[in-house]
Structure 1
Amino acid sequence: MAVRRIGLTGGIGSGKSTVAGLLVAQGAVLVDTDAIARSIALPGGIAMPALEAAFGPGVIDPAGGLDRAAMRQIVFADAGAKARLESILHPLIGAETQRQAAAAGEDAVVVFDVPLLVESGRWRAIVDRVLVVDATEETQLKRVIARSGWAPEAVKAVIAQQAPRRARRAAADAVIYNESLTLEELAQQVRGFWERWAKSSTR
């Protein structure tokens, strides 16, 4: 079967974004739902009026965009706040995701980079294959602290909000265990999946 829609997911610090870039290098069109979520919450973004109405001026940064640190604190402390946030963002993200995928064209191989693919429960019906990038929680913690400077407790809180590793692996058609791979070894695995899954759909 020609594979034209690939769902890519993985926990924070797993290396998912690196894998996404390697798939683009093979010829995929990337639809990054995290990037879409960020863009709609920038100053002037289409989500900002609803976010301010729902959570107040305390979640607005000086430039007029979403203060992500403030929003993160609210969401971690209040499950109801998380549900309200998702009810605002998810329809807007979904609409832009569909627009970008349609703009890629019918013959394109589209990779949907979705951090919460497993948690959402709806992507299995949308994509042809699910690729999970996996790493131990200890490695996730080290990578995120090294790249972002977050406190360990903040990283652990994000990991706790995401699906357990076993749930992501159970939802996968294939898993890249990105624990001690070099970049070239990772690229080789990505090329292998591209050859098996997507190359036939680009001929």
Structure 2
Amino acid sequence: MERDEFADEASRRKVLRAATGISGLSVASLFATGVGSAQTTRSGSEGYVINGDGYIEYNGEKDEEYIQEAVEGMNESKRNGEVDFTIEDGQVVTQPQPQQQPLSVTTADACPGVSSYSNSVQWNGVKHTIKLDHCLTNDVIDAMLAGAGIAQVAALLTGGPVNAPAFIISECAAILLATGWQILDNNAEGEGVEIVFFLPNAIGVPGIDPQ
């Protein structure tokens, strides 16, 4: 499959520019979003909150650096006007904002597959499934080839899956970085990929398959 098939389409997500500009995002810039503000925060589960400026903060017990980096990536998408955050069922979730598409291009034609998030309770934990359509899959691969880190991948994912909880975006970005672009590319067969993982991960390993 030619990964450049849709490279010139106007529907490519604007945030890819940030993802390939590796120096453009840093955890330090998180403080420019209003972190530490005295304004009212809205608390969700898993340690994620929405601060008074509408950006995500992580105040949980985990000290993994990837979480703070993923939070910065999600906040970058908000700064770009591509996403907003709200609380649903006690969780901080992303709400991708509609992007204007050229009249001659439809998402279905330009990007086979779907971008979505779903979960189901299994005997070994909660199964989380994130689907990335063809274009979003290629954007993530391109960003990883350019040396993107957690923040950049999280920024891309935030504009894709619908209403995905913040902690799921963080985990998925970490899984993709740990897996590597080669496996993602090998499973991208024209209609995007499906990423499955379990939390808590007592039994079950993450998997990436074609849609």
- TM-score, normalised with respect to structure 2: 0.29
Q: If each structure's strand is expressed as a fraction of its own residues, which one has the higher value?
A: 2
Q: If each structure's helix is expressed as a fraction of its own residues, which one has the higher value?
A: 1
Q: Which has the larger radius of gyration?
A: 1
- TM-score, normalised with respect to structure 1: 0.29
- Structure having greater relative contact order (Cα 8 Å, sep ≥ 6): 1
